[in-house]
Amino acid sequence: MAGTIEARLKALDLVLPKAKAAIGTYVPFVHMNGQLLISGQLPMKDGAVAVTGTLGSGVELDQGQEAARLCALNILAQAKAALGDLDRIVQLLRLNGFVSASSEFADHPKVINGASDLMVEVLGDKGRHTRIAVGCASLPLNAAVEIDAVFAID
């Protein structure tokens, strides 16, 4: 039987992707002492990076926000793989958002709002969190956005 969070995903017409294996010398998540840490997730869709390039240099704000939403869905997919049941999430504690951006681009928080908004839509008050939103010169696989997360879990 689907839990509350999975029912909310369904009501929002959102489908979690298959959790991806690590592509390096790290693990996709660590579950320890009441916390679940999720490694950085890219805007993957159908096995490929869906939004590539640089915000402020060819990638528009709405594309960056969609990339952040995809990162958030991939974070939730990793949480599901780690926990088996998303209702074990007590609180999303932190999102760390990285935006591939030109030196002139200054709307990093607006980009990462794509992920923040999705987390609140899906998790309700459990999705309210602290966060950072920073720009960088490049990201793995030329992704426009990468986001990691820390959850409190039962």
- What is the mean pLDDT, run by run of 10 residues, along the chain of 154 residues? 87 96 94 97 96 98 98 98 97 98 98 98 98 98 98 97
Q: Give strand pairing partners of 99.
A: 135, 145
Distance of alpha carbon 2 from alpha carbon 45, whole angstroms: 23
**Distance in angstroms (rounded) separating the CA atoms of residues 42 and 144:** 8
The tokens for 73 are: 């869905």
pLDDT of residue 118: 98
Conformation bin of residue 55: beta by default, left when phi > 0, alpha when psi is -120 to 50: beta
What sign does the CA torsion over 35, 40, 124, 16 have? Answer: negative
| DSSP bridge partners of 91 | 152
Residue 2 is predicted with a pLDDT of: 64
